[in-house]
Amino acid sequence: MMKFSAEQIAGLVNGTIDGNPMASVSELAKIEEGFEGALSFLANPKYEEHIYTTKSSICIVNQSFNPSKPLPESLTLIRVADAYSCFAQLLELYSQLNKKQPEIESPVFISDSAIIGKDPYIGAFTYVSSKAVIGDDVTIYPNVFIGENVKIGNNTIIHPGVKIYNDCKVGSNCIVHAGVVIGADGFGFAPDENGTFKKVPQIGNVVIEDDVEIGSNTTIDRATMGSTYIRKGVKIDNLCQIAHNVDIGKNSAMASQAGIAGSAKIGERVLIGGQAGISGHLFIADDTKIVAQSGIPSSIKKAETLMGSPGIPLEDFKKSYFGFRKLPSILKKIQELEKKIKELTHD
């Protein structure tokens, strides 16, 4: 890792320096785990206590930060308008500096009819099928399978073990993490008169637009006909399942183990919590929020925050849950009343 001075970092993030402008760092670390030569940041006040003991050489803080105790003499501060966003900016720079250098390792298989853009990194044991088109500055780690007619845009990163089936499209500036499967058959079966399931051929594809990130071991099924769409800016966590013909709108995000059934249409900027389940053939309005472990069995026509299974508005769920928690005491009171009624009736 290259070394950067406080002066250089302040220039990158438009910050001001408190301390030694020549202090240098070569690694990143959480503030509570800091060490000499490390860069950390403090954005959340609940971690403030760590800045008084950290061994990091440089720490990025908000302009408004006012120490309540003496800081370590070895610590240099860089004050910025928003410490969290500035640190994210530096993490992106760090990622770019560690990007694989252009190279095609050996052994790989690249079809003669495949088109490879400029400056690729293609790791060993990768298979690029016929008529695949790989854009410029693409990074493909080892053991990746690229199917026939697949198209991958510029600056996209494909991590180890990813499988992209034939005819699927991945946009520019995407990140696809290890073990993702794009374009496997959707779960399409039709029972015959004997109750035996017959497979319905899945002849569509998956279209992933620009600036999408897909977490490890997520699966996105190809459409029965047409396309499964993951629109621009969507972020998908690890271990999610997206079924055939789903359409996820721009800048939506879903957390781990969430599942979306076939042909559901998810609006823009929708947030889906972990382990939430969305039934098929429904529509979720823009800006809807779905709390973790909720189940959505019907369409949501206007933006709201939903919780429970079936999902209901969050405030209604809280009231219902409060009543549910009181059920044991209510039942006890009912039993006592029944006992008194019997005693009075008996008399």
Tally Cβ neighbours within 10 Å of residue 227. 19
**Which of 159, 244, 281, 346 is flagged as catalytic?**
244
314, burial (CB in 10 Å: exposed 0-12, middle 13-18, buried 19+): middle
Q: How far apart, in whole angstroms, are the C-alpha atoms of residue 347 and residue 142? A: 85
The residues near 241 (Cβ < 8 Å, ≥ 6 apart) are: 218, 219, 258, 259, 260
Amino acid occupying residue 201: P
**Which position has the token pair 């609006």?**
267
Find out whether the peptide bond into 310 is cis, omega within 30 degrees of 0. Answer: yes
CB 250 within 8 A of CB 232: yes
Residue 305 near residue 289 (C-beta atoms within 8 A): yes
Alpha-carbon separation of residue 344 from 338, 339, 340, 341 (angstroms): 10, 9, 6, 5
Residue with tokens 């293609």: 122
DSSP letters spanning 106-136: SS-EE-TT-EE-SS-EE-TT-EE-TT-EE-T
What tokens does 172 get? 């520019």
Q: Check if 244 is active-site.
A: yes
- Short-list 152, 294, 161, 167, CA closest to 212: 152
- Residues with a known catalytic role: 244
